[in-house]
Amino acid sequence: MIQINAKKKVMKLVEIIFDISYLFTVLITAVLLYKTAEIGSLRWQFALMSFVLGVGDSFHLIPRIYAMADKNNRNHTVSLGIGKFITSITMTLFYLFLWEIGKIHYDIKVNPLLPLLIYGSAILRVALCFLPQNNWTDKNPPLKWAIIRNIPFFILGMTVMIIYLIGALLNGGSLSFLWLAILISFICYTPVVLYSSKNSKVGMLMLPKSCAYAAIVLMGFSIT
């Protein structure tokens, strides 16, 4: 029992350090990109996108860090739930930024219906997140609604990924591997949505998912 508790403490410490490092990386990168960019430029948009990602994830990760560090083991379900709700919204905005940046960076002429799919999926995702059936502040939110609200998010993310993949194949450039980072993030995120409520260890996949997003943000330095 002592060994199990010691192992849990070590894992919590590792996750706390990782989460702080991730937030620091994303937010500092956002500031540096902003300071070295002309207003309205692609690098400036990348900075805003990074800022949205970092601030949005802070609403989820800071309560999580506090909960893991809380020696009194108080109930943090409400703050964690609200944080996940806010992060779900800002993550949707993050992909809209990626979509607009990708169009400009690769100068791709897209089918007029594609923006409808992109923005329609984003609006639907946000609308679903606001529905009370999600029960964000419950200890065990319904899995069904986690799946429902993530369907349009998956469509949004995969469509953006395909745009970057096509751009990389046709034009190459500094963002050639951005599509791969998006793919990795969804490969890690999908099992968390489906199985983390049954097996908490699956939640560790959020670590490589966060690494993928940090990699996307750091790619902003390659934009001149």
Inter-axis angle of helices 206-218 and 2-35, to 10 degrees?
20
Q: Give counts: helices (H), strands (E), the chain.
A: 7, 0
Q: Is 63 within 8 Å of 23 (Cβ atoms)?
A: no
Give me the pLDDT at residue 4, please: 52
pLDDT at 5: 66
Taking the mean position of all CA atoms in its chain, how far away is CA 99?
Answer: 14
- Residue 9 host element (H or E): helix 2-35
Which of 4, 18, 17 shows the shortest CA–CA distance to 205?
18
Query: Can you give the pLDDT at residue 24?
Result: 96
Q: Residue 83 has which token pair? A: 């944080």
Q: What is the pLDDT along the chain (224 residues), one digit of tens a residue?
A: 555 566 777 888 888 999 999 999 999 999 999 999 999 899 999 999 999 999 999 999 999 999 888 777 778 889 999 999 999 999 999 999 999 999 989 887 878 889 999 999 999 999 999 999 999 999 889 999 999 999 999 999 999 999 999 999 988 788 999 999 999 999 999 999 988 878 778 888 899 999 999 999 999 998 87
**Whole-prediction pTM:** 0.92
Q: What is the identity of the amino acid at 86?
A: I
- Residue found under tokens 């199985």: 195
Q: Which domains does the chain have, with CATH numbers?
A: 2-222 (1.20.1070.10)
